[in-house]
Structure formats: C-alpha cells, structure tokens
Structure 1
Amino acid sequence: MTLPAAPLIDPALADSRVSRIEYLILGIVAVHIALGIGSFHYNRSFFDRYIVEDGYIENITALTLLFISVILWIAAYRNNGVLRLALGFVALVFLFGSGEEISWGQRILNFQTPGELKDVNTQGEFNLHNIKLNDVKLNKLIFGTVMYTGIILYFVILPALYQFRSFFHTRSYMLLPLPKLEWGIMYLGIFLVLFFIPHGKLWELQEFTFSVFLLSSLFFQFNPKFYTLVSGGRANYTFAG
C-alpha cells in the first residue's frame, strides 16, 4: 500500500540563507584552488606533489565520494520502493567513483594491472576511466563531457529553476537534494577559474571541488526534503506530481 506523498517543503528547514559554516567550507575550497593555481605558476614542484596520483587532493576526493555513498546507502535503507532503489543505485555510482579515483587502491595495495586492461589503459592503471578504445577516451566522453554537463545542470540550472519557478517546489522529483544557488554560482566560478591551470591535472581540482560541493549539498540544501530522507524514519514517497 502506497502512503500519501508527504509535503515536499519542511518550513522548519526551508532556510535558503548561506550559513557561516557554508562560508567556511567555501573558503576552504577557495584556498585549495588558489594554492593549486598559484603553485602551478610559481612553484611547479609543489604543484606536482599537490596533485600527484594518490596524493592529498586525490585522496580527499575519494574519501568524500565514499562518504557521499555511505549517506545515500543510509537514506536507501531508511526508505522503501522505487525511492530505495534509486538511492541505492546512486550510492553505487559514487562508490564506483571513489574506487576509480584511487584506481581501486592499486598503488596502496601494490598489485599489477592485468595485461589486457593495461594495453587499453592510457596510464596502465587498474581503472576504467582511463581506457581508450578506437581513439575514443572514456575519460573524455563519459567522465568528461557527459558528467560535467550533468554537473552544470545540477549545480546551476536546477537551483535557478527551483528559486525562480514555483512549479518546481511541488514536484516529487525535487526529492533530489539541490545545492543553494550561491553554491552553484561559486562552483561555476571555480570551474572557469581552474582553466588558468593549462595542464591536464586541473581536473583533479575540478573533481575535488565537485565532491566537496556535492557532499555539502546533502547537508545544506536549497530544498530540505532530502534531509528528512536521511535523518527521519522509514517513508514511502511516490513519484507522482
């Protein structure tokens, strides 16, 4: 039996103002970005250590993605039906992203890449995102073009629609946790500023920014419904408008 859809906006939580904690998180990210840009231009040896494989930035990104996955698993466990399946699937996606970020612990556990995979992996690593087949790089096609199109949609377009179009406040698909518009604008700014690093490793800092901003969006939401899914009891929400 499907329970009636609960109200999608909790007035007690619906505060779109940016808190001091959020400004602190934004400041920490900005410092990391400034450090990356500055070191690239003025201290290349530090930059190389800063963004090295399995280094500080990459490990923070992997741990953040793993934490996001855990939060989504908790939300999936506390819900039912289609919502549980959807949350569980997204949790798997972020678990996969965390593993890919550190090549599934290859350098930590010190195991070799199988020959067949090594032959098609541009870095000879135990992961999928560096595979190149018939001159097509999966990293560029799937983890580049497709993923970042989705990121801009999530961080900028959807929050803008949610703020300026009341229609989006009453739709059940807005169970999706949305970042506040200020976060989206900040993310877009960082995304563009990072191109001052004319080096392929700029994407390590892009991924770091994405992971921290996404984790923050789960706790400081524009639409607070997802908070209820994570912290509340079991629920069974329908996806009918």
Structure 2
Amino acid sequence: MTTKVKNRIYISGLLIFAFMKNLSVLEKIIAIILLLTVIYAIYVFFTDSSFFDRLVEEDGFYENLTSIFLFFTSFTLFFKFFKYQKYYGMLWKIGVLLMALGMFFGGGEEISWGQRIFNVQSSEFFKENNAQQETNLHNMVVGDVKLNKLIFSNLMSICFGIYFLVLPLLWNKSAKMKNLIDTFGISVARPIHLYIFVIITVLILVPINHARKWEIWEYAFALIMFLIVYNPLNIKEIFSKENHS
C-alpha cells in the first residue's frame, strides 16, 4: 500500500469522524463499521489479491453484507410502517411499503434468494434466460439485452442519483415538493449521509483497481440506506405520532 493511499485513508477517516459528532450512538457504530470494512478491503487488495478475489466474489463477504443491510433497511421500514401507519393516510402507507419491499427485493436478489446458501438448483427457465444461470432477475437476458446493465445499472444509477442529490434539495426548497415527499413517506437523506457516502465512494473507487470493486460500493450503499431510513431528514414529518391522523 502506497503512502498516497494511506494518506487518503487517514484523511477520509478524519472527515468521517468529524461529521459523526451529530449522529446517535447507533449511527456512529454503523459509520465506524462502514469505514473499517472499507479500509479492510483496501488493505487486502494491496496485500493479498487472491483473498481479495474471494471477498468480492458471488456470495462473498461483501455481497452477503450488502444483502444483510438491505434486509435490515427493509425490516426497519416495515417496523416503522406498523408503528405509525394508523397516524397516516393511504399514500403514506403505499410509499413506505413500496420502499420496504424494494429494499427486501434488493437483499434477496443480491444472494439469488438464498439459492447457493440452500443449494437450490435453478429452473430451466433461469438456466436458459439468466446470464449466470441463477434464480434472480437482475442477471436476466432478454434478447441481447442484459437487464443488469439496462435497468439495475443505468436506470437505477439515475434514480438513486436523483434520490441522493435532487430529493433533499426539493424537500428543502419547495413547499409543494416537501408536502408531496412527506405524503408518500419517502425517507430523505440528511447532508451527513451524503457526505459520508461521497467520502466512502472516493475511498473505494480511486485506489482499488478491480472489476468487482463495485461489490464493496454496493455494500456501502446498503449501509447508507439503512442510516437514511433509520433517521431521515424528515423523520418528524413521516415517522411521528404527533399532528397526524
């Protein structure tokens, strides 16, 4: 590991610790876990390439962590749904449930719905139409089009770019958009979530020159999503018993 990489890690750590002062204890623990696991990945990348390959392989360490935190995010939303649903209207219920189901779907897709964990063979349909012959949708091939690239890479990148960058601005600057976002119970990222995510993204993508480094980035994304739904910017508006019916 070069001195330049070590300095980048040191600066990233200082920035994240500086931002953590306004986080709760649980959020601080999660942020520290994120930082340490990313630093660990960088260390292994520079010291043991074969072990790094195992860490980022299918159903490897980081893919499983991604799935776990997506499920945690989903269960957190389901918990909040059942806790607060009687205080909100139908649109709120639809919005929160859709986000919870989306996170659950992502967690299941990451591990091909436990196919390799439980040693379940793919059906003929998935063997014929899935690029990796797995029981999941994101590796499906329709004609010559890979859904993973079209939908789960390109389209989802645009959607989450809007979610992280545009949505907080709209919530802060437009009363109408704020009301619409809150009505659907959409968890809005706080500035600290974005700061940490940007720092971690640079920390992952710059020093690691490996085709599967995105597995680590997806893990970071899943963990940040958990932090967002746990304590969103609009928590008082969408997860509160007061002033709602």
| TM tier, smaller | 0.7 to 0.9
Q: Is the 8 A contact 1:73 1:91 kept in 2?
A: yes
Task: Tell me which residue corresponds to 2:93.
Answer: 84
Write out per-residue CA displacement over residues 205-241 of structure 1, whole angstroms, 9 at most, x where no aligned residue: 1211111111111223222236625xx49954xxxxx
TM-score (norm 1): 0.77
Structure 1 window deviating more from structure 2 (135-144 vs 77-86): it is: 77-86
Is 1:190 matched with 2:194?
no
Q: Is the 8 A contact 1:177 1:224 kept in 2?
A: yes
- Residue 81 and residue 37 in structure 1: after superposition, are their counterparts in 2 closer, same or farther (change >3 A)? same
Structure 1 window deviating more from structure 2 (64-73 vs 217-226): it is: 217-226
**Matched-pair identity in %:** 32
Is 1:132 matched with 2:141?
yes
Is 1:218 matched with 2:218?
no
Q: Is the 8 A contact 1:191 1:206 kept in 2?
A: yes
Is 1:202 matched with 2:206?
no
Q: Report the CA distance between 1:23 and its aligned residue.
A: 4.2
Write out per-residue CA displacement over residues 52-77 of structure 1, whole angstroms, 9 at most, x where no aligned residue: 32232222221221122222223333
SS of the aligned residue for 2:139 comes to coil
- For the residues of structure 1 that align with 2:67 and 2:212, how far apart are their CA atoms? 16
SS of the aligned residue for 1:85 comes to helix
SS of the aligned residue for 1:112 comes to coil
Higher helix share goes to which structure? 2
- Residue 27 and residue 133 in structure 1: after superposition, are their counterparts in 2 closer, same or farther (change >3 A)? same
Task: Tell me which residue corresponds to 1:181.
Answer: 191
Write out per-residue CA displacement over residues 129-176 of structure 1, whole angstroms, 9 at most, x where no aligned residue: 11122332111111111212222222233334545x364785241342
Letter in structure 1 aligned against 2:193 = W
Task: Tell me which residue corresponds to 1:27.
Answer: 32
TM-score (norm 2): 0.76
Letter in structure 1 aligned against 2:235 = P
Matches within 5 A, 1:1-241: 18-19=22-23, 21=25, 22-77=27-82, 78-79=84-85, 80-162=89-171, 165=173, 167=175, 170-174=178-182, 175-196=185-206, 197-225=208-236, 228-229=239-240, 232=241, 236=245
In the alignment, structure 1 segments of 5+ residues that lack a partner are 1-15, 237-241
Q: Report the CA distance between 1:42 and its aligned residue.
A: 2.8
- For the residues of structure 2 that align with 1:148 and 1:76, how far apart are their CA atoms? 26
Letter in structure 1 aligned against 2:196 = M
- For the residues of structure 1 that align with 2:29 and 2:77, how far apart are their CA atoms? 24
